[in-house]
Amino acid sequence: MPHIDPANGPGKRALRRDLLAARNRLTAADVREAADALAARALGMPEVAGAHAVAAYVSVGAEPGTLALLDALRERGVRVLLPALLADNDLDWGEYAGTDSLARVRHGGRMELFEPAGERLGPEAVTEADVVLLPGVAVDGRGLRLGRGGGSYDRVLARLERAEAYPALLVLLYGREVVAHVPAEPHDRPVDAVVTPAGVRRFR
């Protein structure tokens, strides 16, 4: 029997494909407007307002925008950590110091990512975060997240668990990406809340 990667099983692949296709139909104005709303919603959350360190990422393409949020956090004096993809799909981390501190990096045939250009802090740096923003394509009513399928953030979540670190886990999505059901595996860990332009939904 052929091996099927749980992160890319048939159900997950089809759902991911359909939702990414819908994202790709958004205009630049749609993405910008949603990014501003997402930042306002996230900044109003107590766990974000009280955070000293936030692990996040730089959105690319039609992903729900994060830069407005990153800049607002930095203006508040919050330490913002951004990921750098390693050869084995694990993540290293570096500090965000404004858009000038970002490097555009292409990993193989994948899309270009924006990564921190400065000092690398090591994969364990994420355990210092009070809040972790996880990229996603969908989340369901149980808080189970559908990622892009690379498995990088499964490693992050496992690392947090090993370190007995329990930051707030948040995912930023468009409203239509909160769905009835995400195909799940036994190791999948739910997020604490989803932030959409329309509001915040908590799961636990």
Per residue in 94-147, pLDDT (tens digit) is 999 988 899 888 877 666 889 999 899 999 999 999 999 999 999 999 999 998
Other CB atoms closer than 10 Å to residue 10's CB: what's the count? Answer: 9
Q: Model confidence at 22, in pLDDT bands (50, 70, 90)?
A: very high
DSSP state of 64: P
CA distance 33 to 204: 28
Indicate the pTM of the whole model: 0.89
What is residue 107's predicted lDDT score, i.e. its pLDDT?
78
DSSP state of 200: E
Asked whether the predicted pLDDT for residue 151 surpasses 70, the reply is: yes
**Burial degree of 173 (CB within 10 A; 0-12, 13-18, 19+):** buried
Strand partners, 92: 84
Note the pLDDT tens digit of each residue in 54-100. 999 999 989 999 999 999 999 999 999 999 999 888 999 999 998 88
CA distance 18 to 138: 11
The total number of residues written for the chain in this structure: 204
* Residues in contact with 131: Cβ distance below 8 Å, sequence separation at least 6, in sequence order: 47, 48, 51, 53, 54, 55, 167, 168, 170
Task: Domain ranges for the chain, please list them.
Answer: 6-198
What is residue 109's predicted lDDT score, i.e. its pLDDT?
66
Structure tokens at 134: 């996880």
Biggest alpha carbon–alpha carbon distance for the chain: 53
CA distance 166 to 158: 11
CATH superfamily of 6-198: NagB/RpiA/CoA transferase-like (3.40.50.10420)
CA distances from 74 to 78, 108, 169 (A): 5, 31, 19
